[in-house]
């Protein structure tokens, strides 16, 4: 099983994406839900889901093109973009 995860680098950017989506007719998510869910989602990616699948790819999607941050196969994680990886680690909370 393979997991491809498109992440944003911060909860603040996640809030901005929701505002943009609503401006284009999309659905809203309460700020309190974003603030609660975002750190837990990143934590689950880094500490649970990566090892639960055969292969995990994590991209940060904060610009024109997604950037591959890490690839994990079983328990071996190759970090390809250290700055983004550290941002995700800083955001992760159980």
| Segments making up each domain of the chain, as ranges | 2-91
| Per-residue pLDDT at 45 | 96
What is the C-alpha separation between 82 and 66, in angstroms, rounded?
Answer: 15
What does pTM read for this prediction?
Answer: 0.88
33-62: pLDDT as tens digits:
999 999 999 999 999 999 899 999 999 999
User: For residue 61, how many other CB atoms are within 10 A of its CB?
Assistant: 15
């Amino acid at each position: 099983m393979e997991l491809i995860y498109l992440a944003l680098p911060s909860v603040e950017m996640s809030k901005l994406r929701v505002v943009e989506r609503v401006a284009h007719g999309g659905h809203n998510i309460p700020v309190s839900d974003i603030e609660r869910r975002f750190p837990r989602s990143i934590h689950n990616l880094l500490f649970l889901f990566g090892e639960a699948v055969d292969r995990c790819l994590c991209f940060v999607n904060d610009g024109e093109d997604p950037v591959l941050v890490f690839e994990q196969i079983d328990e071996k994680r190759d970090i390809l973009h250290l700055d983004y990886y550290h941002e995700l680690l800083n955001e992760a909370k159980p």
